[in-house]
Structure formats: structure tokens, C-alpha cells
Amino acid sequence: MKNTVNLLIVVIILTAGFTGCQKLNLNPQSWLKSASMRSQSPDEDETTSEIEKFETKVDTPFIGEYTQITGKNLIALQGVGLVTGLNGTGGNPPPSVHREALLREMRRRNVKNPNQILRSPSTALVIVKAYLPPLIRKGETFDVEVYLPGNSEATSLEGGWLMESYLAEQAMIQGRGLLKGHILAKAQGPILIPPMSEEDRKKGTSGLLRRGRILAGGISVAEDRDLALYLRNDFKSIRNAQRIANRIGTRFHHFDKYGIEEPLAEAKTDKKVVLKLKPRYKHNDSRYLQVVRYIAFRETDVAQRVRMQKLTEEIMIPEKAERASIELEAIGKKSIPILKSALKSPLLEVRFHAAVALAYLDDGSGIKDLADAAREEPAFRVYALAAMSALDEPEAHLHLRELMSMTSAETRYGAFR
């Protein structure tokens, strides 16, 4: 009996001790687990937390949710130029800051008898205006506009040729006159004026002859214009900026002259990522920015497959087709089969959005649908023509040539461009 009592006391003591260890967190297994967790760095803890968060997230987070794009603005340029080759419709410009600026430029170029040249009826002083487009590269061209000053004696620019002129940012400052910035472009070429019938001329619409355009007459001499993505203040960090640059660089890259692959995005600071233009999008940079915004910031393979299945259904719905096509384009080449299946839709809008995405993925399966959209739907025309120009395929060139014979002036001009 005594032995039984002693044994019972030992069991009670051991049970109490084990319970106390649990309450005081003295379990050896707990020590090992805690020690293992404490051995991780704060960055590792944060990374693990983020992975778990995004792996269990239903809605994919896109780059556009964390960034804002800048650098999309046009730069207004202006200069003064000399038009030659006029058929007696020129004239001597009256005294002005523009005349003085032109005379200085002519003397700088060692032009003999500049005042005599300005008095000739075959020449005219003009104001040259243009807008330097965003994402333009050094050496690329753009359209410029020329017009006669209000007090000019010249009556028409028809048949004229603009001599080489320099364009810069300008501002009229009170007390200091006209101030110029750095030269960003040059302009020259034949002047095109709006077509006018004899009836129009008799009605007194000759004012249209006092201005004109030079197609691709401007050439950029400035450094390449790039875009920048700025991270939200609550999201900015070196690591997040680098992650965004890596995600964009994985989807968009190019090869330099040595054949080395270079990403088109580079993290510069903890909140700024510089973005270069993919040449394929040069006629539709807005599309490029849309696609960049819909690149997934973080997404597992399983989550991407689920999203692609959802997009397969949405692209067949006209109201959702545009957004779905952009998301599929942002995913890349693996989306091509889904986009090709959308070309079988009886709806032009669905086929158009799928064909545009395919064109920028370097797949010409939707060329015919793009040509149909350019012919039949004015709202799609400019985007269809831009997408066809992104494809270096004979079929695309043939369709563009056919569109140049359309009755619509807009279609003919767009196909020519």
C-alpha cells in the first residue's frame, strides 16, 4: 500500500511539472522552433509574409496599382525660319523680334546680303511651331507647322520650301524680351497647304494659304526622351523599385548592337524607375503604357493559369474585350492561342482587340481583321493602322497599300504614314 501511495505521488509531481513547462513555454520543441524563427533576418520574415500574401490573393496586383507614369507631356517648340521658292507671294517682313532673330541667324551662317534676300518677293519670314513627342529618340522625325506673322506682307506659302531652322523652347518675359532655351530640334522641307478650289479662293478663304505643314519635317537633336514610373509613397523602397524594373524587364527588352539583351526598365532610386520605349510600339506609345501597367507585380504560375482561363471568357465579351486583350498582351507569348481563338468571334470589336494584341506580340494572324476594322469602323481606324505598321510582314504591307486607295482621306493618310 505504501508503494502504491509513493507511485501515485510521483505521477502527480511529473504531471504537474509537465503542465507547468507548457504554461511557461518551457517545451524543448518550442525552444527549437522559436530559435529557428529568430535566426531569420527581418527581410526574410517580410519576404515570406509577402509571398504568403500574394499566393493566397485572388486578385492579381498589377504594376499600375503601385506606380504613376510621368514624361508623357509634349514639349512646345518654336523658331523663326525663311521660306524660299514662292511665286511672287512673299514680301519684306516688317521690323520685329522675329526679323532680328532671323537676320542674326543668317549672319551666323555667313549669308551675304541678308536684308536683300528678305526683301525678295520669292521669300518670306515664317514662324515655325512644333511639339516634341514623348518617347521620341534622337534623330527621329515629326511634323511641324509654319505660318506667316499677322503683319507680314506675304500672302501665300503655296509652293514654298522652308530652309533649315532651329527649334527651341521659347518664352516672352516682360522686360527681357524673347528668351530661348536649348535647341531641341531642326526643321526644313516642302510646305503643304490645305487644298482649295477656285470657289474657295473667291470666297476670301485665302487666309488658309498663309499657313501650312511639313510632314516629318522636324528632326529631334535632343537626347532620347524616356518615361519614368514613380512608386507610391507608401510603397517606395529600393527593393520594390528593383522588383518592378525586373518585372517590366522580363516582359520587355531589346538587344544592343553587340547582341546583348538589355531590359527596357531600370530602377534609378527608391521611387523612380526609368522606362524606355519598345520600338514596336512607336506609333502607339499609349498602348505600350497600358500594357506595362497591367504587368503582374507578383503572380504564381497557378494564379496566372486561373487568370488566363478567366480572360479566355472575358475577351469574347465586347464590353470586356479591350481590357482582357491588354492583360493577355502583358502576359506575353503564352497568350497567343487564346487571342487566336478570339479571332473566330462573329463580332468585329472582339476580333479587333484580339488582332491588335497579336500584332504587338509579333503574330500576324489578325492582319485581315485589322484591315477590316480600318475600313469599316472609324473609331478603330487609327489603332488598326498602327498595329499593322508594327508587323514587318508582306501581308500587312499589301493591306496598307490597298487602304491607300480608299475614299476616306483619313484612311489614306493613315495608311501612308
| Per-residue model confidence as pLDDT tens digits over 214-236 | 999 999 999 888 899 999 999 99
How sure is the predictor about 6, in pLDDT bands with cuts at 50, 70 and 90? low
Residue 39 lies in a domain: no
- Identify whether residues 100 and 214 lie together within a single domain: yes
- Identify whether residues 83 and 216 lie together within a single domain: yes
Structural domain of 364 = 301-416
Residue closest to 392 by CA, chosen among 354, 359, 351, 343: 359
Residue 274 burial (CB < 10 Å; 0-12/13-18/19+)? middle
- Identify whether residues 262 and 330 lie together within a single domain: no
Residue closest to 373 by CA, chosen among 394, 392, 362, 358: 358
Helices (H) and strands (E) in the chain, counts: 16, 12
Query: What pLDDT, on a 0 to 100 scale, did the predictor assign at position 400?
Result: 75
Domain count of the chain? 3
Residue ranges with strand state E in 261-376 = 261-263, 265-267, 272-275
Whole-model pTM: value is 0.71
- Identify whether residues 406 and 370 lie together within a single domain: yes
pLDDT in tens, 273-284: 999 999 899 889
CB neighbour list of residue 285: distance below 8 Å, 6 or more residues apart: 134, 135, 277
- Identify whether residues 136 and 269 lie together within a single domain: no
DSSP state of 93: P
The pLDDT mean for the chain works out to: 84
Which three cell numbers, joined as nine digits, stand for 54?
A: 500574394
Q: Over range 63-70, report the average pLDDT.
A: 94
Q: Of 293, 318, 347, which residue sits at a domain end?
A: 293
CA distance 27 to 6: 27
Q: Write phi, then psi, for 122 (nearest 5 degrees).
A: -95, 5
412 contacts 406 by C-beta, under 8 angstroms: yes
- Identify whether residues 402 and 281 lie together within a single domain: no
First to last CA, the chain: 109
pLDDT in tens, 281-329: 988 989 999 999 999 999 999 999 999 999 999 999 999 999 999 999 9
Query: What pLDDT, on a 0 to 100 scale, did the predictor assign at position 205?
Result: 54
- Identify whether residues 335 and 404 lie together within a single domain: yes
Query: What pLDDT, on a 0 to 100 scale, did the predictor assign at position 394?
Result: 83
Query: What pLDDT, on a 0 to 100 scale, did the predictor assign at position 207?
Result: 72
**Bridge partners of 178?**
172
In angstroms, what is the C-alpha Rg of the chain? 33
Q: Of 220, 254, 280, which residue sits at a domain end?
A: 220
- Identify whether residues 171 and 258 lie together within a single domain: no
Residue 366 lies in a domain: yes
Q: Over range 35-52, report the average pLDDT.
A: 43
